Amino acid sequence: MVKVGIAGFNALTRTLLRVFISKLTQTCPPQENLFHIVSINCPKTSIECMVYMLKHDPIYGDPKVEISHNLDEISIGGCIRIAVTNCEEQAAPWKNTKTEYVIDVINGTNDKSGVKSLKKI
């Protein structure tokens, strides 16, 4: 299973998280997933705002699992914990969460995918 970090929090990020969350309704924790989201870094969005947007998604509706948070992590379904940091991109502590790849959506892109880059850590 690949451990993924996300730099930024936008519509693409929320869609990725909702796909991940939908797998939790089948098994918790999701053992057979190809990826596991372990961290999010977004310098401009508070953890409270992230949780609110995940709980009240206008496209996907309310999730079927509980989403909560503490100071530095989001808990999904009581069995998945995602570390959250709010530092500048260069200072993100990806190695602390054993992140293997980072999907960067912070700095914009030239194509319609919304992904700036996929970086191996």
Give the pLDDT score at 62: 84
Between 65 and 48, name the one with better pLDDT. 48
Alpha-carbon distance of 119 to 5, in angstroms, equals 10
Domain containing 82 equals: 2-120
This prediction has a pTM of 0.79
Between 84 and 61, name the one with better pLDDT. 84
CATH code of the domain containing 57:
3.40.50.720
What would the pLDDT profile of 63-115 be if each residue is shown by its tens digit? 888 889 999 999 988 778 889 988 877 788 888 888 898 888 765 555 544 45
| Number of structural domains found in the chain | 1
CA 5 distance to own-chain centroid: 7
The strand pair at 35-41 and 80-85 is best described as parallel
User: Does residue 14 carry a pLDDT above 80?
Assistant: yes
Give the pLDDT score at 68: 92
